[in-house]
């Protein structure tokens, strides 16, 4: 099934309008800045977050100028956060091409990220809706706090699913939650519907991150990411957390603590990855995604009246769970 076609179908025109507005917003006439912004525009992803905003607006009303500026503002904020994240993570690659900090340097990356962030705020101010502006501003705070929380949790001794979910809710899930809330707000949804849409987005974002984390247990030639890359960066994700906490294997738990202490070897990472796969860690994470997907589909069944939007949101949930690298 071509999930992306199903997702785009009821919003094709609106998505085209978004892309034009986004590209115009991410343009400049000065030398280096224009060069860097053009580099960033070339790595456009699948537009999953903007599509979610457009779908949620259509779920409760119509896509309008406020919706489009909300979508552009959020996508620009997300883009700025990725530019800054690459500096924090010392990453040399993003979506199959050189990161800004690798192509230029950290100073340029930070300044360009700041410029994009300011452009995001300028766009969202054009919605004329103070609640949407506040939502995006709080999202920026939440994402920054999530990065700090991840840095501190990576180095701490505590290993728990609760900590894992706390980080996700302030990173990936916060983005999806904001998409749904801002889309609903832009088309005049009721307070009850905005709250329900926010919860749908948060749950969908958690599923998205769990699926992303599962990729790390397998080699990826496409993005050049080796098995266990998260562990090499001091991160423990749901599959391994579940296994080391439920298996009673003291040796593997000790290696997990070495991961958090950044003192683990490549050989130990390979052993911990194999242990996780052999002891049902991937299957456990998949079962969590399935349970959460049912929560998402409950929202679709109970809140979405338009059949084409319901079909698109259902395809969105299925895509997030089944997506490939």
pLDDT at 98: 80
For 3-322, give the CATH class.
mainly alpha
Query: How many CA within 13 A on the CB side of residue 207?
Result: 28
pLDDT at 224: 42
pLDDT at 148: 84
pLDDT at 26 over 90: no
> Residues 88-94: what's their mean pLDDT?
71
pLDDT at 223 over 70: no
* 141, burial (CB in 10 Å: exposed 0-12, middle 13-18, buried 19+): exposed
Q: What are phi and psi of 280, to 5 degrees?
A: 80, 15
pLDDT at 287 over 70: yes
* Cα-Cα-Cα-Cα dihedral sign, residues 10, 16, 17, 18: positive
The alpha carbon of residue 193 and the mean position of all alpha carbons in its chain are separated, in whole angstroms, by 22
pLDDT at 220: 64
Domain ranges of the chain: 3-322
| Residue 223, helix vs strand vs coil | coil
**Listed range (27-36, 131-140, 240-249, 302-311) with the worst mean pLDDT:** 27-36
The alpha carbon of residue 78 and the mean position of all alpha carbons in its chain are separated, in whole angstroms, by 8
pLDDT at 233: 86
Instruction: Give the distance between the most distant pair of CA atoms in the chain.
Output: 60
| pLDDT mean across residues, the chain | 90
Alpha-carbon span 317 to 325, nearest angstrom? 16
Q: What percent of the chain has pLDDT over 90?
A: 68
pLDDT at 222: 45
> Residues 212-238: what's their mean pLDDT?
79
> Residues 262-276: what's their mean pLDDT?
95
Who's near 324: CB < 8 A, 6+ residues apart? none
Who's near 248: CB < 8 A, 6+ residues apart? none
Higher-confidence position of 127 and 154: 127
pLDDT at 271 over 80: yes
**Tens digit of each residue's pLDDT (9 = 90 or more) over 65-87:** 999 999 999 999 998 888 887 87
């Amino acid at each position: 099934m071509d999930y992306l076609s199903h997702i785009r179908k009821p919003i094709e025109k609106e998505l085209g309008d978004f892309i034009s507005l986004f590209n115009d917003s991410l343009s400049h006439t000065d030398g280096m800045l224009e060069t860097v912004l053009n580099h960033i525009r070339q790595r456009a992803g699948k537009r999953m977050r903007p599509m979610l905003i457009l779908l949620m607006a259509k779920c409760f009303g119509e896509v309008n100028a406020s919706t489009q500026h909300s979508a552009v503002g959020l996508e620009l904020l997300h883009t700025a956060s990725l530019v800054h994240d690459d500096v924090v993570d010392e990453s040399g690659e993003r979506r199959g091409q050189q990161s800004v900090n690798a192509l230029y340097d950290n100073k340029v990356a930070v300044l360009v990220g700041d410029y994009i962030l300011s452009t995001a705020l300028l766009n969202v101010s054009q919605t004329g809706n103070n609640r949407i502006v506040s939502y995006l501003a709080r999202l920026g705070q939440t994402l920054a706090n999530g990065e700090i929380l991840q840095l501190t949790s990576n180095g701490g001794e505590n290993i728990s699913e609760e900590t894992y979910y706390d980080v996700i809710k302030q990173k990936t899930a916060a983005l999806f939650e904001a998409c749904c809330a801002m889309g609903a707000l832009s088309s005049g949804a009721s307070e009850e519907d905005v709250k329900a849409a926010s919860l749908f987005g948060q749950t969908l974002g958690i599923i998205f991150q769990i699926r992303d984390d599962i990729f790390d247990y397998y080699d990826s030639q496409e993005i050049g990411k080796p098995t266990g890359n998260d562990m090499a960066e001091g991160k423990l994700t749901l599959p391994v957390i579940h296994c080391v906490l439920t298996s009673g294997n003291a040796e593997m738990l000790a290696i997990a603590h070495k991961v958090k202490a950044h003192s683990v070897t490549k050989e130990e990472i390979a052993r911990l990855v194999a242990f996780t796969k052999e002891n049902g860690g991937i299957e456990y994470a998949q079962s969590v995604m399935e349970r959460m997907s049912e929560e998402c589909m409950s929202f679709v069944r109970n809140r979405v009246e338009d059949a084409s939007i319901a079909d698109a949101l259902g395809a969105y949930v299925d895509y997030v769970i089944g997506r490939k690298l």
